[in-house]
Structure 1
Amino acid sequence: MHGNNEDDIPSTYSSPPCFMNEVDPSYMGLVGAQPASIYEWRKLRRQELINARQAPLAAERATWGRAIQAAIDPIVADVAGKAIALYWPFRGEPDLRPWMNALAARGALCLLPVVIAKTQPLSFRSWRQGEPLERGVWGIPIPAAGMDVRPSIVVAPLVGFDERGFRLGYGGGYYDRTLAVLEPRPLVIGVGFELQKIESIHPQWHDIAMDTIVTEERTRLRT
């Protein structure tokens, strides 16, 4: 179920935000705040970028994923006692689950994002390998239990990104909404493949730039 209409989104659900596909602007309450052409442009670019991300063989994406893990690890080297929000991979996103397990072994508290209600910030729920999972809206595993914890580091998957550090997501706005209210603001790291880089996402008033973007080829620090 990956339609573009609000009718595709159940009235109640629990699911990581990176699995939200296109959401109609009226659902977000943003009609009038941005020109409709931006939504149309982003809709087309999202699908192109998702298709491009899924095109390489799984083995090649796995190799890129390992390179991302190697590059991101020094950024968060001292992880003992830190709460780190990650994600469950979907539609060709980098699979960082091996790194998540390594972080837990080094004393980090790993979290997965959960949507608790429409137009509300995300909840981040603790999880480690072996603990029970349940299925979210699109069959994506989310923690069945665990604590709600405010993260000190957020690792967010990208559909697209630009050199200014802005992230193009799935259109639900959940990461932006959450980052806008988290205090103190966590370190925010976007992860994706180099092929997802575009000239500009045409950032709007609600878009929040990443602190760092890591791909299999480069680490970009926002200045």
Structure 2
Amino acid sequence: MHELDPAFQAPIADWADVRRWRKAERERLIAARLAVSADERAAMSARIAKGLDAVIGDIDGRMVSLYWPFRGEPDLRPCMDEINARGGRTALPLVIEKGQPLVFRAYKHGDKLVKGVWNIPIPETGDPVFPDIVISPVVGIDPNRYRLGYGGGFYDRTLAAMPFKPMVIAVGYELQRIPTIYPQAHDIPMDHLVTEAS
């Protein structure tokens, strides 16, 4: 079938096969993302920021978790200052332990950062917070908004453990759209997707 339709993907039912496929797909998509010039990624990030503003709407009094960009992810750090200036609050996710949910800590420009897991900057201090809106970068995403991440399951575990359901917005580039991630029972779809084209 793949010779007639290049987009065709044979169904994969076995979790071991899905894991192998996801690993290879992650590598392919990250390489494609990193192949885009830094200037073009910056321009796409600016368009994503505008799209996010439209999806989020009124930010006053709401806590928004963003992220520190890693391996060519959209850079939305300028959004933090704008959210705080418009009456919102911002937070960053922290990996505390492998196999455990993320913890969110309040953060605004000027707060002290230290190196966390994978040398990603995290707030040095602060109490955990529960964001109203979680902005999640993707490695890949399918038409049903199932997110392919780095494979640690942190966002799925975190969303499942939160005391209330936040609005979850996936962000990525158009080149990261894929036909399926072969979603499993533990995968949680995102509420919205924002790319440089949407």
TM more than 0.5: yes
1:53 maps to 2:62: no
Secondary structure (helix, strand or coil) at the match of 2:128 reads coil
Contact kept in structure 1, 2:95 and 2:116, CA below 8 Å: no
User: Offset at 1:80?
Assistant: 1.4
TM-score (norm 1): 0.81
User: Offset at 1:117?
Assistant: 2.1
The aligned residue for residue 85 of structure 2 is 105
The aligned residue for residue 107 of structure 2 is 127
Q: 2:139 aligns with which of 149, 154, 159?
A: 159
Separation of aligned partners in 1, 2:25 and 2:114: 31
Separation of aligned partners in 1, 2:183 and 2:39: 33
Q: 1:175 aligns with which of 155, 158, 163?
A: 155
1:137 maps to 2:117: yes
Deviation per CA, 1:169-217: give whole Å up to 9, x if none. 0000010001112132000000000000001011011000000011001
Contact kept in structure 1, 2:141 and 2:177, CA below 8 Å: yes
Separation of aligned partners in 2, 1:205 and 1:68: 29
User: Offset at 1:121?
Assistant: 1.4
- Percentage of pairs with the same residue: 52
1:150 maps to 2:118: no
The aligned residue for residue 173 of structure 2 is 193
Written as runs of structure 1 = structure 2, the 5 A alignment for 1:63-82 is: 63-82=43-62
Contact kept in structure 2, 1:34 and 1:204, CA below 8 Å: no
Deviation per CA, 1:82-114: give whole Å up to 9, x if none. 111110000000000011111011121101001
Separation of aligned partners in 2, 1:188 and 1:49: 22
Contact kept in structure 2, 1:83 and 1:153, CA below 8 Å: yes
Q: Which amino acid aligns with 1:78?
A: D
Contact kept in structure 2, 1:158 and 1:191, CA below 8 Å: yes
RMSD: 1.2
Separation of aligned partners in 1, 2:86 and 2:14: 44
- Could you tell me which runs of 5 or more consecutive residues in structure 2 were left unpaired when the two chains were aligned: 1-12
Q: Which amino acid aligns with 1:198?
A: I
Separation of aligned partners in 1, 2:33 and 2:58: 31
Separation of aligned partners in 2, 1:51 and 1:70: 26
Secondary structure (helix, strand or coil) at the match of 1:138 reads helix
How many residue pairs get aligned? The number is 186
Separation of aligned partners in 2, 1:142 and 1:164: 31
TM-score (norm 2): 0.91
Q: Which amino acid aligns with 2:89?
A: L
User: Offset at 1:118?
Assistant: 2.6
Contact kept in structure 1, 2:95 and 2:117, CA below 8 Å: no
Contact kept in structure 2, 1:86 and 1:156, CA below 8 Å: yes
